[in-house]
Amino acid sequence: MKQFFKMMFASALGAILAAGLLITLSIFLLIGISASMSQPTAFSPSSNSVLKIALNGALSDQKTDNPYAMLLGEEDTELSLTDILKAIKEAKNSDNIKGIYIEAGNFSAGSSSIDAIRRAITDFKESGKFVVAYGDQYTQGSYYLASVADKVYINPQGALLLTGMSSQTMFYKGLLNKLGVEMLIFKVGTYKGAVEPFMLDKLSDANREQISSYMNGIWDNITADIAKSRKITVEDVNHYADQGFAIALPEKALECGLVDELKYKPEAEEYVKDLAGQTDKKLKTVGVDKVRNIKSKEGKSKNKIAVLYAEGEITEAVTSPYSMDKSITEKVAKELIKLKEDESIKAVVLRVNSPGGSAFTSEQIWKQVLELKKVKPIVVSMGDVAASGGYYISCAANKIVAEPNTLTGSIGIFGMFPNMTGLFNKVALTTDVVKTNTYADLGDVSRPMREDEKALIQGRIESGYDTFITRCADGRGMTKAAIDSIGQGRVWTGEQAIEKGLVDELGGIEKAIAVAAKLADLKDYNLVEVSGSKDFLKDLFEKQLDEVKLNVVKQLMGEDFEYFKTLNLIKSAPAIQTRLPYDVQPL
């Protein structure tokens, strides 16, 4: 019997070790496969090719490859704005590419990113090449992009979900009261609405004012762009949205001039095939991933402009393992130091797409922006959002370029601390403390916070706000009083921000690169892209088991995973933050 258990234990141990070895080998195999796939291969399109832009997934500035998606059978649904813009530019210059075919799907993106693609397609059309769009169903974002096409087709049983914009805020005060938890709020900024869900049961008048202001501004721009592209009026676009035609049959979209014809997908593809001069039975297209790698003629100049991408929440070095989202850490500051010391880099474009986050990390990045500016020009290009901490890391640049619909500003600061006395009483939980100094137990959630402790924390918050507006005032050449008057946590669109002096010019990353070249007095240069966000592959060696756990939990929890992730982010977030009051929902 003893021998039996010994053999059974040995077999079990062997199985466990084998499984562990298999997992480890799989991880390194996936790293190798993903790394090889990420290496660009020069591409040369065949004659009469058509660039296909498949609008299916979420759009970000840069795509992060995730080898676990392949392992777990998930579809990789992240799209790269950088890749799409490069592909459109290469397609315009290629004699073998005759046009663009946009296929709309389940697409979500910020309006500023869509604006950038629409500009690129408008530029593409100047070559005389065609652009055709088709969708079984158009989301609001995919239609906004597709509306710039020469022809827009929709399935006879499809839908065009153009409804307008809305913003919903969930309030937790009542729930926390029932649980016996009181959130102690410390903030500076009348419009700093991030704390309102924890202290109110509806939007404050100030917060409602700013949301209405920026949302109406963005919607006005969207409807104006659609109307111009479709040769209809803004009233026509709003009529479609106001009548609820989004849930009607697509004939209503045709009647309102939003689409050209009702076609089934094979019919639309046959039309594109004829335009391209293809003679095969099926439409042959090439994707963004290939066209972006068409080998362009690079200039001979040794001068370089670096584009440094800072995308995601601004966090401390230690982040939640339950998030695959991009994040901005002190890695951005380190990259700025490298770029400052690299003599071949003559100017830097810092691409910021962030709602903010950690005040401490924002300060470290701001410092390196300031130091780099002493040596060479740095220009900020703002994406969909560059607010609060996102503006903090931008304000010291030589110039700031934003899209008209960029959300920026939100110059304010806040902190939140829980008082869980009520919860402790509900469950009959008591604590006792022995301490050596007055504030040794500062932050103890089991007791009410004393007034002297509140005064200390509020003082730190006010000091942080003073530092924030000082950084902005110095960077923008304004007084602290002037920054304070447009600060107070107020969110502005790019159009509004340029009027307030927070932004220098309107445009996309291509405009920012041109401004940087002018500041550096460069006519010939090459571009170098640098990622400053958390990267999946580079962090994989340090957090292999965390990433495996993440994907397993995500598979098990399904749609509930997002709530789980949010709770973990709240738990791991620093107490003092410069963050946008809410998460910005894509179109």
**Chain segment 150-178, per-residue pLDDT in tens:** 999 999 999 999 999 999 999 999 999 99
In this structure, are 249 and 352 located in the same domain?
A: no
Q: Can you give the pLDDT at residue 120?
A: 98
End-to-end CA distance of the chain: 67
In this structure, are 286 and 312 located in the same domain?
A: no
More confident of the two residues 153 and 64: 153
In this structure, are 262 and 326 located in the same domain?
A: no
Q: Can you give the pLDDT at residue 373?
A: 98
Q: Can you give the pLDDT at residue 64?
A: 65
Distance between CA atoms of 408 and 390, rounded to whole angstroms? 8
In this structure, are 282 and 331 located in the same domain?
A: no
Where is 477: in which H helix or E strand? Answer: none
| Residue 134 scores a pLDDT above 60 | yes
Both tokens of 488, joined, read 């107070």
Domain presence at residue 178: no
More confident of the two residues 326 and 367: 367
In this structure, are 489 and 534 located in the same domain?
A: yes
CATH for 426: 3.90.226.10
137, 243 contact by CB (below 8 A):
no
Distance between CA atoms of 563 and 556, rounded to whole angstroms? 13
Largest distance between two CA atoms of the chain: 87
In this structure, are 272 and 369 located in the same domain?
A: no
Q: Can you give the pLDDT at residue 76?
A: 55
214, 493 contact by CB (below 8 A):
yes
Distance between CA atoms of 217 and 221, rounded to whole angstroms? 6
Question: By percentage, how much of the chain surpasses pLDDT 70?
Answer: 79
**Catalytic-labelled residue, pool 111, 388, 410, 531:** 388
68, 552 contact by CB (below 8 A):
no
Of 256, 291, 326, at which residue does a domain stop?
A: 291
Residue whose C-alpha is closest to residue 352's, from 379, 324, 316, 374:
379
Asked if 44 is an active-site residue, the reply is no
What are the tens digits of pLDDT across the range 496-506? 999 999 999 99
Residue whose C-alpha is closest to residue 341's, from 375, 377, 305, 306:
375
| Residue 11 scores a pLDDT above 80 | no
Distance between CA atoms of 486 and 472, rounded to whole angstroms? 11
Query: In this predicted structure, which of 22-31, 184-193, 288-297 has the lowest mean pLDDT?
Result: 22-31
Q: Which residues contact 280 (CB under 8 A, 6 or more apart)?
A: 273
Domain presence at residue 99: yes
Q: Which residues contact 529 (CB under 8 A, 6 or more apart)?
A: 62, 82, 306, 307, 309
Domain presence at residue 486: yes
Domain presence at residue 209: no
Query: In this predicted structure, which of 154-168, 333-347, 375-389, 557-571 has the lowest mean pLDDT?
Result: 557-571
| Residue 311 scores a pLDDT above 90 | yes
Tell me the C-alpha to C-alpha distance, in Å, between residue 32 and each of 536, 538, 573: 13, 12, 33
Look up the domain containing 574 and give its range.
304-579
Domain presence at residue 377: yes
Domain presence at residue 39: no
* Beta strand segments in 38-96, E: 49-60, 78-80
**Which residue, chain included where needed, has tokens 């969708």?**
135
In this structure, are 126 and 155 located in the same domain?
A: yes
What confidence category does residue 316 fall into, taking pLDDT thresholds of 50, 70 and 90?
A: confident
In this structure, are 252 and 359 located in the same domain?
A: no
103, 52 contact by CB (below 8 A):
yes
Would you call 288 helix, strand, or coil by DSSP?
helix
Bridging pattern class, strands 576-579 and 526-531 = unpaired
In this structure, are 249 and 370 located in the same domain?
A: no
Tell me the C-alpha to C-alpha distance, in Å, between residue 517 and each of 333, 371, 375, 522: 22, 19, 15, 5
In this structure, are 414 and 278 located in the same domain?
A: no
**Catalytic-labelled residue, pool 63, 92, 151, 192:** 192
Both tokens of 494, joined, read 């790019």
| Residue 553 scores a pLDDT above 90 | no
In this structure, are 476 and 506 located in the same domain?
A: yes
Domain presence at residue 568: yes
**354-392 b/e (C-beta count within 10 Å ≥ 16 → b):** bbbbbbbbbbbbbebbbebbeebbbbbbbbbbbbbbbbb
What are the tens digits of pLDDT across the range 451-497? 999 999 999 999 999 999 999 999 999 999 999 999 999 999 999 99
Domain presence at residue 482: yes
Give the chain's domain count. 2
| Residue 541 scores a pLDDT above 50 | no
In this structure, are 376 and 270 located in the same domain?
A: no
Mean pLDDT of 388-399: 98
Of 231, 259, 291, at which residue does a domain stop?
A: 291
| Residue 144 scores a pLDDT above 60 | yes
More confident of the two residues 427 and 31: 427
Q: What is the mean pLDDT of the chain?
A: 87
Mean pLDDT of 575-581: 59
Q: Can you give the pLDDT at residue 213?
A: 95
265, 155 contact by CB (below 8 A):
yes
Residue whose C-alpha is closest to residue 531's, from 395, 329, 273:
329
Query: In this predicted structure, which of 223-227, 255-259, 444-448 has the lowest mean pLDDT?
Result: 444-448
Q: Which residues contact 567 (CB under 8 A, 6 or more apart)?
A: none
Asked if 192 is an active-site residue, the reply is yes
More confident of the two residues 226 and 553: 226
Distance between CA atoms of 296 and 284, rounded to whole angstroms? 23
Q: Can you give the pLDDT at residue 5?
A: 46
